[in-house]
Structure formats: structure tokens, C-alpha cells
Amino acid sequence: MSSRANARRERRRPGDVAPAATVAPPASPWLISPGYDLAVYAGSALWGAALVLALGRWVEPVRLWYLFNIVFTAAHYGPTWLRAYADRDERTHHAWSLYVFPPAVFGFAYVTRGHPEVFAFITFFWDRWHAVMQNYGFMRLYDAKAASSSRRRARLDFALLISTALLILSLNMGLFAPLLAAFDAIGFAPVTSVGTIRAIQIAFGLATAIAAVAWVLEARRIPRGERGRQAPRLAFLICLVGGHGLMNTTSNIFVLSAHEKVYHSLQYLALSWHYSKRRAERAPQASTGTVFRAVFAPQRWPVYLLVVAAWTVLVFVGNRAVGESATGPGLFTALIGGLALCHYYFDSFLWRVRRPQVRASL
């Protein structure tokens, strides 16, 4: 220590307070901002339910479902393929998956074309898993942003989301009947009586209650001064459960399906944009490639939306070309099913938060 520093220390009187070190303010626990997150990431599950229920009174439910599947479902597959094939690092690190899985999926769809229920069964259950895991991903992101993430809290988030999803599904025959029909289509009938349905509902209700109690007890372990940073995570959970609870006022499968198309796809489109924009800002061009930066560079969101719109039109036209049944309830042909399975599979590694580049951009 220099003699000048010693002199300053000696001149300090006993009652003097040492100058405080500069401390950076804690990062915001919101992914983008309170207003944006509440409107898009969290709130879309709630306002989406109100929107769909209102539209369902004026628009034929089948038409509503058909329209939302084009505008939202088909559209949100586009960012997955953009991230997978436009990002040079993704093409390099996942070449086997990116170039082998799609032909394998469409090959399987062709081989089983005489028994389309097999392909539909796989798509149905992977779709349900994918939807819950996206909600789980948002819960984990908010916990990480609050700087309170733990393995125990992750397990409880997962248990609560799974049990709640199963309970809501079992309480609404508009949701439960397609599940039973999927099993019946492959020759397996696990539910044969009203009593069995009641037993399933009670079991899922108990599981949800146990998971909820454990979740609340774990939340109380967070120091009181840090609980405010859990507000985004709690808001997301409340809006998610509230939105699906509101949708349980109807049992029309087309209206029910349209709800998830809105909020799930909107969340995905928004998160994909913000993630990719950050990656384009921070990663060198040699890592991302020219095409990726042309779409996702800052202020390029109109380009992103135009590419997604072009993708959606291309999918719609291609789907119409595969057969006369590719409209209305038959919208989901093997083409849409194959794109869906690729979307689910690609997401399993594109959003893997163990990867440094994913954590940095999220």
C-alpha cells in the first residue's frame, strides 16, 4: 500500500464512514420488461383464452381452429427451421440431426400411410409433451433471472405443471375424449367406465394438490427480501393456469385447441426473435453466418416477420397440394405432422440451456 493511502487512512476519524464500494444494481428478473412479459409471455395465455372464447361465439369453431392453425401453428414452425439451418454453428454441431431426421420422419409417414393413426398417435403425445415443456422452460428462465434457480425448484416446477395439465385435461371431456380416442385408434382402451374417469380425476387432483403444497413450501424458503424477484415467475404461472381454467368453461375441442395455438405460438415467435437478435449482436459473423444476421440483426424484425409469413404461405400451399383433405379438420396431413415432429425434435437441442450460447442469448 502506498504512503499516500496510509496517510488518508490515518486522517480518517473513528466516527467516519468509509466510502461505499460501487455496487451494480441487480439485473431485472423480467426477460424483456414488465410490460412486454405480461402482455406476451405470461399474459397471452389469459387474454388468449378470453379472445378465443369471444370469437367462438361469432365464428364457426372449425373455421376458427383452421384459421389459427394457419396463422399461428404453421407460422411458429418457421423460426425453428430458421435457427436450425440459418445458424452456421447449428448446422455444424447438429448436422446429423438436421439432415437425417426430417427424411426419416417423412419416410415413416409414407411407410405407415395405410395406418395414419400410428403417426397421429405419436404426434398427439409429442405435441402435449412439447407444450408443457415450453411452459416449464419459461418457469425455469424466470427462476434463473431471479438468481434463485435450484434443482429442487426445477423438479417442483415440472411436477406442478405436469400434474396441473393432467388435471385440467381430465376435467374437460373436450380434451380428454381425443386422448381416449388416440388410444382407441391403436387398439388400446384404458378407460371403459365413468367410474374409471372419476378415479383418474381424483388421482390427478390429489397429485396436483401435493405438488402445489410442495411448490408453495419451497417458495417460502426463498429469503423474504428476494421474493419480489419471483413476481415474473408467479405471474406466468397464474396466467397459465388461469387461462386454461377459463377455457374449461367450454368443451368444444376446436375452441380449446385454438387457445393453445394463440399463446404457445406467440410466445415462441417472440422468444425466438429476442434470442436470435441477441445472438446476432454478440456472436461473430463467422459463428452465425450471413443469412442468420440478415434476418436477426437488430432492427431487422420486419425481415423476420416477412420470412415467417413467406414460410407460412409456403406450408399452406404445400399442404393444399398433398391432397383434397388438406383443408378444414383435415389440415394436419402428413406434411404438417412431419413439420411438427421436426419442430419438436429440433427444439429439444436448440433450446438446451446447458449450452453456453443458449444461456448467453437467453
Which pLDDT does position 58 carry in this prediction?
Answer: 92
pLDDT of residue 6: 47
pLDDT value at residue 324:
52
Residue 319 and residue 327: Cα distance in Å, rounded? 8
Contacts of 121 (CB under 8 A, 6+ apart): 182, 185, 186
| Segments in the chain below pLDDT 50 | 1-23, 325-331
Q: What is the pLDDT of residue 25?
A: 52
**pLDDT attached to residue 323:** 59
Alpha helix stretches (DSSP H) within 172-300: 173-185, 194-220, 231-247, 253-282, 285-288, 290-296
Domain boundaries, the chain: 32-114+253-361
- pLDDT value at position 245? 92
pLDDT digits (tens, 9 = 90+) for 202-232: 999 999 999 999 999 999 988 888 888 999 9
Residue 5: what pLDDT? 47
List all residues 6 or more positions away from 13 whose beta carbon is below 8 Å from its beta carbon: none
Read off the C-alpha cell for 119. 403417426
Contacts of residue 360, defined as CB under 8 A and 6 or more positions apart, other chains included, come to 278, 279, 282
Long-range CB contacts (within 8 A, 24+) of 224-230: 226/146, 226/147, 226/148, 229/26, 229/29, 229/145, 229/146, 229/147, 229/148, 230/29, 230/142, 230/143, 230/146, 230/148
State how far the Cα of 70 lies from the Cα of 55, in Å rounded to an integer. 16
Is residue 224 exposed (0-12), middle (13-18) or buried (19+ Cβ within 10 Å)?
exposed
